[in-house]
């Protein structure tokens, strides 16, 4: 017959087993990963908890390695992110393999969660900008900034600046020939001209030149810039 003391021991053993975690958690980024974008969000989440993340370049698609703990496993499950757990010894063996000069791979330590800004008009719809759609889906927080914030000197408060299809020439994009009579195009032109007048510029091109110089100073000061589409022109 099992006495109360034995019951308590069994309960404690089961409880301890249920909360036992491996030393390390690996988030693969190869074909075994069910949700790559959400996986980036998990890496951001862990950094936000002031925990270190190691980026294993060219290992399983550029996997993320971190300490295993209760909250991170739960977050992975909630967000549908694939992961595996392993011992500290196994993780060290993997890193030793990647450190071999004959292997085209490396380990990058991620220590700080970056503060992200997206340069986008306040009137833009969520589906207008691929960058904001990706960041939102990945659950990576960001602020939307535009000409007001840039000219007010807010960029140095951020680590990353993302640009999508923004035209810095002051020519209102590349749609004049096809859409110059469309209501939405006329609204964008009116908004740009109003913004230029607000900041004391006679032309939108002068406004955008001032904004461009601020962005140039941001990158020269160590800020990271990601540009795509017409923003690279």
pLDDT at residue 233, rounded to an integer: 63
State pLDDT tens for residues 153-187: 999 999 999 987 777 888 877 777 788 888 888 98
pLDDT at residue 15, rounded to an integer: 41
State pLDDT tens for residues 180-223: 888 888 988 999 999 999 999 999 999 999 999 999 999 999 99
Considering only residues 176 and 152, tell me which one the structure prediction assigns the higher pLDDT: 152
pLDDT at residue 173, rounded to an integer: 73
Q: Are strands 106-110 and 53-57 parallel, antiparallel or unpaired?
A: antiparallel
For residues 180 and 172, the answer to whether their CB atoms sit within 8 Å is: no
What is this structure's pTM? Answer: 0.81
Neighbours of 95 (CB within 10 A): 16
Nearest-angstrom CA–CA distance, 32 and 43 = 17
Nearest-angstrom CA–CA distance, 52 and 65 = 9
């Amino acid at each position: 017959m099992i006495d109360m003391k034995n019951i308590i021991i069994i309960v404690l053993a089961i409880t301890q087993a249920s909360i036992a975690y491996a030393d390390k958690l690996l988030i693969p980024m190869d074909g075994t990963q069910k949700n790559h974008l959400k996986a980036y969000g998990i890496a951001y989440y862990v950094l936000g908890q002031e925990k270190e993340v190691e980026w294993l370049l060219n290992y399983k698609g550029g996997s993320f390695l971190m300490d295993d703990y209760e909250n991170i496993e739960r977050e992975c499950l909630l967000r549908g992110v694939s992961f595996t757990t392993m011992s500290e010894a196994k993780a060290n063996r993997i890193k030793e393999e990647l450190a071999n000069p004959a292997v085209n791979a490396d380990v990058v330590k991620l220590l700080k969660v970056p503060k992200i800004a997206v340069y986008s008009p306040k009137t833009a719809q969520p589906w207008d900008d691929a960058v904001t759609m990706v960041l939102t889906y990945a659950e990576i927080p960001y602020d939307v900034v535009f000409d007001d914030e840039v000219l007010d000197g807010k960029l140095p408060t951020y680590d990353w600046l993302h640009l999508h299809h923004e035209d810095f020439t002051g020519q209102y994009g590349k749609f004049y020939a096809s859409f110059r009579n469309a209501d939405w195009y006329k609204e964008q032109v009116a908004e740009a001209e109003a913004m230029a007048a607000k900041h004391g510029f006679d032309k939108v091109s002068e406004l955008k030149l001032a904004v461009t110089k601020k962005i140039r100073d941001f990158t020269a000061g160590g800020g990271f810039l990601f540009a795509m589409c017409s923003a690279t022109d």
